[in-house]
Amino acid sequence: MTNNKIVSTRHGSAVVTLPSDTEILITRAFDYPAELIFKAWTTPELVKRWWGFPTSEWLVCEVDLRVGGRWRYVIRDQDMEVGFHGEFREIDRPRRVVSTEVYEGFPDGEALNTVTLEEVGGVTTMRTLVQHSCKEHRDAHINSGMESGMQVSYNRLEDVVAGLHGAPAAA
For the chain, how many residues are written? 171
* 40 vs 46: CA distance, rounded Å: 5
Span 41-98, pLDDT tens digits: 999 999 999 998 889 899 999 999 999 999 999 999 888 999 999 999 999 999 999 9
- Given this structure, which CATH class describes domain 15-165? alpha beta
* 126 vs 28: CA distance, rounded Å: 5
In this structure, are residues 30 and 161 in contact, taking their beta carbons and an 8 Å threshold? yes
In this structure, are residues 89 and 100 in contact, taking their beta carbons and an 8 Å threshold? yes
- The domain ranges of the chain are 15-165
The pTM of the full predicted model, rounded to 2 decimals, is 0.88
